[in-house]
Structure 1
C-alpha cells in the first residue's frame, strides 16, 4: 500500500515535533519524493536542508506554509530534490550495503 501512497503525492510533508531516525523519510526519498520536515531528530541529517527537501523550525506554521508553497510552485526544484533523495537512499541506505558495513564492523571488533 505505501508505494501507492508515495506515488500519488508530489511532496512528502512530516511536520513532527519529535522524531527518531524517521524511516518514513528514507521510504519517501526512495520513491523520489522531496521532503518537508521540521528540524528535529535525525531529519536534518537524513534530508539535508536544500538537498533532498526543506527543513523548517518545529511549531512554525508560517515556515511550513512557505516550504509547501515553494515546492508546490517549483516543479524543477521538486524533481531535483526528489532525485537527490533517491540517490542518497541508494547510496547510503541500501540493505546490502548496511549488512556489509555491519560485517566489516564485527570483523574489526573481533580482530581486536
Structure 2
C-alpha cells in the first residue's frame, strides 16, 4: 500500500466533506479519518454525516463546516503554523484510535446494543 508513505510525509490530514443534495448525500463514518489519526496526524473533517464521529474536535483535530472555505483555511492554517500542537493532536488521535476503535471494542459495543434491544443473549 502507498497510503502509509503519504501519511508519513504529511503534517496534517484534511478532508472537509460536506453534505450535498439537501442532506441526502452525506459522508459516512469516514474510515480515512481514523487511518490518518492512527498514523499520528491531526485530522480536519467536515461536519457531514458520520465524519465528526471520527474526530474529537479540539483534541485529535477539528470539525469544520465543509462549505466554509474560511473556517477550513483558518483551522488548517492554525495547525500548520503550530506544528507542536499538530503533533500533540496527532499523538492523541493515535492513542484514541488504538484504544477506542479496535475490533474488540467494536464487538463489545455491538453486543451491548443487541443485548439491550433484546436481540441477543
TM range (shorter): 0.7 to 0.9
2:99 maps to 91
Considering fraction of residues, name the structure with more helix.
Answer: 1
- Structure 2 unaligned segments of length 5 or more: list them: 19-25
How far is 1:86 from its partner? 0.7
Q: For the residues of structure 1 that align with 2:120 and 2:51, how far apart are their CA atoms? A: 33
- Structure 1 unaligned segments of length 5 or more: list them: none
Aligned residues: 111
The answer as to 2:26 corresponding to 1:26 is no
1:13 maps to 14
- Which residues in structure 2 correspond to 1:37-76 (within 5 Å)? 37-76=45-84
Q: For the residues of structure 1 that align with 2:39 and 2:87, how far apart are their CA atoms? A: 12
Distance verdict in 2 for CA 1:71–1:95, change over 3 Å: same
